[in-house]
Amino acid sequence: MRHSKRIESVFLNIPYDPEFEDLYLAYIVGLTQLGLHVNATVAVPNQGRLETIIGLIEESSFSIHDLSRIELSKGIPRFNMPVELGLALHRSHVTKGRHRVYVFESKPYRAQRSTSDINGIDPKIHRGTAKGVMAGLRNIFRQPGDVTTVPEMLLSYRAVKRKLPELRLNAGGKSLFEASVFQDLTLAALVESQKLIEMRVRTHRR
């Protein structure tokens, strides 16, 4: 639920691995489409990272935490997402709820078992699909009067996805989880969002 003033930024806490690329793109496009600025650790240098992450959470009105990939990776559990969730929950506590925390998962009830301390939070279930991510985002952030739809977000998502080979080439690497690529993805999502706005204006004038 949002106030009448549009929220400026949301902290995005997700796993950074190749198998999560589609959902990573869905979060960036969906949040941008809904008029939000995305803060993410992928844009943070390793040196002093924890302090910077805390700062990003503090400057964000909302945070989204995807717990769908906290299982073992090469025999080691992934603790980054739960740690950042804990930091955000503390921020929510000290601000008396002004920082709002949302959890996303791919399977129902799994987050309540894996991280039982969040049993007061109802996770959004995306079932591992871009459409599921965008439906969850729209349910959280849609304001009265907003006309953005999930099909429109998916249209922008596919347009940005077609640009990925060019973005990878420009960055000189294969990974999307780099600071420069994150900025390029955000810009590409913003361009597609603007195209939809202009299309709505033209349609309205007719």
Q: Which residues are 102's β-sheet partners?
A: 64
Who wins on pLDDT, 10 or 18? 10
Distance CA 74, CA 57 (A): 29
pLDDT of residue 6: 53
**Per-residue pLDDT band at 76 (split at 50, 70, 90):** low
pTM score, two decimals?
0.87
CB neighbour list of residue 186: distance below 8 Å, 6 or more residues apart: 28, 32, 38
Phi, psi (degrees; rounded to nearest 5) at 15:
-75, 140
pLDDT of residue 175: 86
pLDDT of residue 135: 96
Q: Which tokens hold the place of 193? A: 């969002």
Q: Which tokens hold the place of 108? A: 């129902």
Q: Which tokens hold the place of 170? A: 């420009």
Write down the domain spans for the chain: 9-205
pLDDT of residue 73: 56
Percent pLDDT > 70 in the chain is 82
pLDDT of residue 26: 97
Averaged pLDDT, 110-127: 70
Inter-residue contact 118 to 103 (CB < 8 Å):
yes
Pick the CATH number of 9-205 from 3.40.50.10140, 3.40.50.2300, 2.40.50.140, 3.40.30.10: 3.40.50.10140
Average pLDDT, the chain: 85
Helix (H) or strand (E) holding 204: helix 179-205
* 146-174 pLDDT, tens digit each: 678 999 999 999 999 999 999 989 888 77
Who wins on pLDDT, 81 or 74? 81
Distance CA 60, CA 186 (A): 17
Q: Is the pLDDT of residue 57 over 60?
A: yes
pLDDT of residue 3: 44
* 34-56 pLDDT, tens digit each: 989 999 988 876 667 888 899 99
